[in-house]
Structure 1
């Protein structure tokens, strides 16, 4: 409570300081840009002014985030183009540029409106600590009651008691004023609804391309495995059986050895097909569920692996499959590269999200952009999830996958 009140009061006080500064800056840059708008210097000058303005609004987002206790997103679109004239013209067309300018101009009246919160907070704090400072400012011309409160020890401690009693009211006034100010800042300095939709559409387009590429690569892998594995073994078995048939028809020789060879080849082909099926969708997921499937993976690992999971309820098949393959690939990386002595798999679920964490005590330094982890990221992003890798040098390495699982 005290920390929040302190942050709110600091926010209001700094707004009173920054408001006039930002107002003057916005006014001057607007006038200069307007005067230069008829010359070839306008785009570079506007670019330089916008660079400074965005540093100021970055500070405003940070101040608002402290009060709102959540990040305030940056709304800017990337400005392509190497020369300042091109970038300057792009910044003129960016709605976020003018929203920044609007906030710099509005900060003064907003800060003045929040002055009531500053007064309430300062007066209450001054009343609480009255015995420490009122003795230094005597005033003999006060009304009797005020004179007793200000100029006697009993009156000063009475002010302290009043300040403590009214502290919740002052705290509410201060935090409400700061929160309203921060919300106004976020409303202007964050992306608007249309901008969020456009950004989301771009993200989905990128994700769709990655999913298509991942599916094409998976189909190529399956085709390659079928051609080089099961198909080759089945063809060899067919040739062996044809040779055995020719032997028996032409010379009547026994073909027991050839038949046994063909049988072994067919057994190998069947094992190859089963391995391929497990790579597409492991049957254990359907038969026993995600937790038991991960326990089976942990049991097959050459190092101690602990699986921590509560009751996950019913999960979509695609989510179970993605979680299984993320875990399998993560464990494979631990065995190959991490030099770890133990590993832990943690599964937690909220109504809308399944979180999977794979953590090992290895040497760290894993490359989150490597081909293996990038393939897992694509699999997770195909379900609108996220995958993050934390692997400082010396370890530990943590892979966190979050998968939406709302019904």
Structure 2
């Protein structure tokens, strides 16, 4: 308990010192930000009617962004982490287009707004923090210095506290009693200033929309690539599997028909017909396998849990399936989850040397989570072709796929799908 209490005091002390440093440096940053904002605004306004207007605006914006970047890092002292950059990439092959691209970003003007706003906020909070710190520290250290500052005209009760030894000693416990409140006030002022900085300097709606658009564009490209690869796989399997077997059965039947026309070989036709029947059976089995590879019928008939149980039954591993047997989800989610588990079991059997797997499905109302854990040797490559294909399938549904596979195992394959139910 004593150690924990000492640690708590140290944490409060460090937080207070960080807050005090943030507020005091805000005094200098506020003055510098205001002077730069005024100088940049006037310079750009004056030169805007000339050919130098565009380059001057770009140069001023570059400096403003660097100052704002310093403010984001400075706010990180109080927030625990630097504020993320809100800027989007600037494109344009001419100065005019680059100026338009920079001016169109709300972050450009929010940076300027913060550099101007920081002056009154930093001045007020910095002076308040400096005064509170100086007064409280002066009270605690009064016996060391107050004797050198005589003040015979001090009013009561300052006169006995400042001019007598007993009074100066009495200031010490008063300062210590006020110290927690002073520290709290300093931290609170720093929190308010950092929160204001975050509101203006953090990425806004524009940046989030740009990032979301880029993410959706990349996801769509990956989905298109995955679908094209899937079509090529189906075409290859049809050509090399079912189609070849059907062609072979047709040739066998044609040979049997020729033998039937020849009385001398009529008895041998029965064997050819039997061979053709087996070839057609193999072709039918191949077609069924392809259908299951596209979308297993059991998913639509009985749901994800039953499909995973059937998949576990066909696996050479010992597979335990945990989840709600009655839970149903959108068809796309169930299909993607099914193939995640299928790929996980296949990798565990072929590459990981596993003997057992545990498959778990869970739903928290908005997210469907599927986890495949094996007891293999680990070391799976998250960027491998098989896992990359799964990642594309999961990301197409705005989901997330993570692979944890340290050397020696176990390997954990986890897929999360958004699913409002």
Residues 20-31 of structure 1: pairs in structure 2 closer than 5 A: 20-31=31-42
1:185 corresponds to: 197
**Does structure 2 conserve the Cα–Cα contact (< 8 Å) formed by 1:294 and 1:324?**
no
Partner of 1:135: 143
Alignment pair present for 1:239 and 2:254: no
Deviates more, 1:224-233 or 1:343-352: 343-352
Deviations along 1:214-273, whole A, 9 cap, x unmatched?
334323432332233223323322432343344335423243322332232123223322
For 1:230, the equivalent position in structure 2 comes to 242
Match of 1:207 among 219, 244, 256: 219
The 5-angstrom pairing of residues 388-403 of structure 1 reads 401-403=415-417
1:332-353 Cα distance to aligned partner (Å, 9 max, x none): 5667777899988776654323
Residues 397, 417 of structure 2: 8 Å contact kept: yes
Are residues 1:265 and 2:279 paired?
Answer: yes
Q: 1:351 aligns with which of 360, 365, 389?
A: 365
Aligned to 1:151, which of 134, 148, 168? 168
Matched, 1:17 2:21: no
Q: Name structure 2 gaps, 5 residues minimum.
A: 1-10, 152-157
Equivalent residue for 1:375?
Answer: 389
SS of corresponding position for 2:146: coil
Give TM-score scaled by structure 2 length: 0.72
The residue that corresponds to 2:70 in the other structure is 59
The whole-number CA distance in structure 1 between the counterparts of 2:174 and 2:313 is 67
For the residues of structure 1 that align with 2:58 and 2:377, how far apart are their CA atoms?
48
Q: Secondary structure at the match of 2:267?
A: coil
Asked if 2 retains the 8 angstrom alpha-carbon contact of 1:208 and 1:382, the reply is: yes
Query: Following the alignment from structure 1 to structure 2, what is the Cα–Cα distance between the partners of residues 384 and 143?
Result: 72
Q: Structure 1 241/76 Cα, relative in aligned 2: closer, same or farther at 3 Å?
A: same
Report the Cα distance in structure 1 between the residues aligned to 2:415 and 2:309, rounded to whole angstroms: 15
Deviation (angstroms), 1:404: 0.9
1:384 is matched with 398
Q: Does the 8 Å contact 2:324/2:361 carry over to 1? A: no
**Aligned 1:265-344 pairs, distance under 5 A:** 265-282=279-296, 285=299, 287=302, 289-290=304-305, 293=308, 296=311, 300=315, 314-329=328-343
TM-score by length of 1: 0.74
Distance 1:341 1:27, change over 3 A: farther
Number of aligned residue pairs: give it.
Answer: 395
Shift of 1:383: 0.8
Question: What is the root-mean-square deviation in Å for CA atoms of aligned residues?
Answer: 4.5
CA contact (8 A) 1:343 1:361 kept: no
What CA deviation, in whole Å up to 9, does each residue of 1:168-222 have, x standing for no partner?
xx53x44543343333323322344355445534543443344344334323432
Measure the CA separation in 2 of the matches of 1:384 and 1:398: 20
